[in-house]
Amino acid sequence: MIKVLIAILALAAYTPANAIGPVKAPNFLTLVANAVPPDDGNVRIAGKAEMLPDTKGYSRIRSYTFHNPFLRGVLVITDKAILFQQWDKKTGTYDIVKRIPISDIRTVTQDSYRNKGNRLVIQKSDYSYDSFDFVNSVMIDAEMNEQAFILLNTLINNSK
């Protein structure tokens, strides 16, 4: 029984990591930019990240709903959109799995919970939420999240 549990945990830990792709490769930004639609403009920030779809910050933790599914990949902020990309090992390219146009964002806030770090919380024009964390190794990258927060608010204000 313990061997089965260890195998399941190992598979679960390994699978999401494949979605991140070669973030330390010298051509990382080129690989990310190749997946960006031309109309979305230039890549402003990109890095290893987690996405919590349909989630408002740490609300699930606060309400003791511990099942908090997240996706691992790369968060990309361009002149015109937020993109969440995952690595396709078979094709050797990043694929966009979530795209939020800057013009579709109502608000960008940061949420924190105890010592877990600030999380980017995006409210879209349909009043739904998605949350994102830039991460370094296994910890939230507070500096990148702060830069993204400032940049997104600037882009939103400039788009109005």
Question: 122 in a domain, yes or no?
Answer: yes
Lowest mean pLDDT among 6-10, 42-46, 139-143: 6-10
Question: 5 in a domain, yes or no?
Answer: no
Identify the CATH number of the domain in which residue 51 sits. Answer: 2.30.29.30
Its pTM stands at 0.82
Structure confidence at residue 6 as a pLDDT band (50, 70, 90): very low
Contact assessment for residue 82 and residue 76, using Cβ atoms and an 8 Å cutoff:
yes
107 pLDDT above the threshold of 90 = yes
| Number of separate domains in the chain | 1
Residue 101 or 136, more confident: 101
Question: 141 in a domain, yes or no?
Answer: yes
Pairwise CA distance, residues 76 & 86, whole Å = 11
Question: 3 in a domain, yes or no?
Answer: no
pLDDT tens-digit series, residues 36-92: 999 999 999 999 999 988 887 655 543 445 555 778 999 999 999 999 999 999 999
Q: What is the mean pLDDT of the chain?
A: 83
Which is nearest to 120 in space by CA: 79, 86, 156?
156
Which is nearest to 52 in space by CA: 135, 147, 149, 154?
135
- Residue 149 structural domain: 19-159
Question: 12 in a domain, yes or no?
Answer: no
What pLDDT does 7 receive? 38
Cβ neighbors of 77 (< 8 A, separation 6 or more) are 43, 44, 45, 46, 83, 148, 151, 152, 155
Question: 67 in a domain, yes or no?
Answer: yes
Cβ neighbors of 98 (< 8 A, separation 6 or more) are 51, 53, 82, 83, 84, 130
Question: 80 in a domain, yes or no?
Answer: yes
Question: 70 in a domain, yes or no?
Answer: yes
